[in-house]
């Protein structure tokens, strides 16, 4: 029988499985709704739906490198405990290797790709959700590649991950300084790589704040301009990676530390993922919940 969009929608609402999974399930059982539900359950896909909607802001940030290319991935779960689960960690590593090999365009493309036998990445993740019992999601990933070296660094057992690409002649010394810069990025979290990446609106806003502050101090206009110019230099040194004092040698800025290792070498790419950043976590008051149940 013909599978309609309404059939797929109904099955998706009932099971929480993905649209393509629902369409495939209905096709496998000739459109029988109950059989399709059972089909999804046997694949571990319907079980995952029970976890959907629960906030997954924990997990790990994982990286993997191959030559002069590396990938960084954020795989979320509900609790920090799961981040230490061997199956969870292995899944992140396998997905990273898969990304390096297949180079999907984005998370949606990744989830739809054949991954483990006849299962897609999304289906494999659903099976892991069913096994471990927590909601999970592949939130984001990014691949970085350059003519030189790409260093990867993980801090805090997967709480922060960094990739740094340094253009130059690939050798051990360049790899070492790239890793040092990656560690610096993890600690300093610069807003920009270089001054030319600072957007005009950010510059304008910063100048306006500094100017207003200087004028309120009673300084004359010609002095204010000089004060603001000096403070903008401080802004760049605090927020632009290449202008920051290098954490490994604070007598040098990052750009100088890199070029001292190899003339002409320069940082050309940086990616920093902090686990769960931007995800609104649900904070529950356990005592209040118990009191509400008693009083209710």
Instruction: Give pLDDT tens digits for 75-92.
Output: 999 888 998 999 999 999
Under 8 Å CB-to-CB from 113, ≥6 apart: which residues?
Answer: 98, 102, 104, 120, 121
**Does 81 share its domain with 39?**
no
**Does 42 share its domain with 62?**
no
Confidence of residue 219 (pLDDT cuts 50, 70, 90): confident
37: domain CATH number is 1.10.8.10
Per-residue confidence (pLDDT) for residue 35, from 0 to 100: 84
pTM: 0.76
Structure tokens at 158: 């997967």
**Residue 219: inside a domain:** no
**Does 178 share its domain with 62?**
yes
Q: Does residue 209 carry a pLDDT above 70?
A: yes
Short-list 82, 59, 113, CA closest to 277:
59
| Residue predicted with more confidence, 109 or 211 | 109
**Does 159 share its domain with 88?**
yes
Q: Which residues pair with 145 in a beta bridge?
A: 69
**Does 89 share its domain with 116?**
yes
Structure tokens at 224: 């204010």
**Residue 228: inside a domain:** no
**Does 129 share its domain with 35?**
no
**Residue 257: inside a domain:** no
| Residue predicted with more confidence, 2 or 96 | 96
**Does 92 share its domain with 69?**
yes
Provide the domain limits for residue 33: 5-49
**Residue 251: inside a domain:** no
Per-residue confidence (pLDDT) for residue 286, from 0 to 100: 45
**Does 165 share its domain with 80?**
yes
Per-residue confidence (pLDDT) for residue 55, from 0 to 100: 54
**Does 15 share its domain with 151?**
no
Structure tokens at 283: 């904070």
| Residue predicted with more confidence, 118 or 46 | 118
Read off the pLDDT of residues 255-267 as tens digits, 9 standing for 90 and up: 999 999 999 999 9
CA pair distance 85, 94, nearest whole angstrom: 14
Short-list 79, 73, 125, CA closest to 100:
73
**Does 134 share its domain with 270?**
yes
**Does 9 share its domain with 125?**
no
Per-residue confidence (pLDDT) for residue 90, from 0 to 100: 97
The number of distinct structural domains making up the chain is: 2
82: domain CATH number is 3.30.479.20
Backbone Cα Rg of the chain:
25
**Does 42 share its domain with 146?**
no
Q: Does residue 295 carry a pLDDT above 80?
A: no
Ramachandran category for residue 255: left, alpha or beta (phi over 0 → left; psi -120 to 50 → alpha) = alpha
Mean pLDDT of 259-280: 93
Sequential DSSP letters for 50-95: TTTTS---EEEEEEEEETTEEEEEEEEES-GGGGG-HHHHHHHHHH
**Residue 44: inside a domain:** yes
**Residue 137: inside a domain:** yes
Read off the pLDDT of residues 5-43 as tens digits, 9 standing for 90 and up: 888 888 876 776 777 888 888 999 999 988 888 778 666
């Amino acid at each position: 029988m013909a599978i309609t969009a309404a059939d797929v929608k109904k099955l998706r609402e009932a099971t929480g499985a993905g649209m393509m999974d629902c369409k495939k399930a209905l096709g496998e059982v000739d459109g029988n709704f109950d059989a399709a539900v059972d089909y999804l359950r046997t694949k571990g896909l319907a079980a995952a739906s029970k976890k959907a909607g629960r906030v997954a802001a924990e997990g790990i940030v994982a990286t993997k490198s191959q030559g002069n290319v590396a990938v960084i991935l954020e795989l979320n779960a509900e609790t920090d405990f799961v981040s230490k689960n061997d199956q969870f960690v292995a899944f992140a590593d396998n997905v990273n290797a898969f990304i390096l090999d297949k180079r999907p365009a984005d998370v949606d493309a990744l989830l739809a790709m054949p991954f483990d036998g006849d299962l897609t990445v999304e289906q494999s993740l659903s099976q892991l959700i069913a096994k471990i019992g927590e909601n999970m999601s592949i939130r984001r990933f990014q691949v970085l590649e350059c003519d030189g070296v790409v260093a990867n660094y993980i801090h805090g057992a997967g709480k922060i991950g960094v990739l740094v690409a340094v253009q130059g002649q690939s050798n051990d010394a360049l790899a070492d300084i790239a890793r040092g810069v990656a560690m610096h990025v993890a600690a300093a979290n610069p807003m920009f790589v270089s001054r030319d990446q600072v957007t005009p609106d950010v510059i304008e806003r910063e100048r306006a704040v500094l100017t207003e502050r200087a004028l309120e101090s009673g300084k004359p206009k010609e002095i204010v301009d000089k004060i603001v110019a000096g403070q903008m230099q401080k802004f760049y040194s605090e927020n632009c990676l290449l202008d920051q004092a290098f954490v490994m040698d604070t007598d040098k800025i990052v750009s100088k530390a890199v070029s001292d290792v190899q003339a002409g070498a320069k940082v050309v790419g940086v990616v920093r993922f902090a686990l769960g950043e931007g995800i609104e976590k649900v904070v529950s008051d356990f005592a209040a919940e118990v009191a509400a149940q008693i009083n209710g």
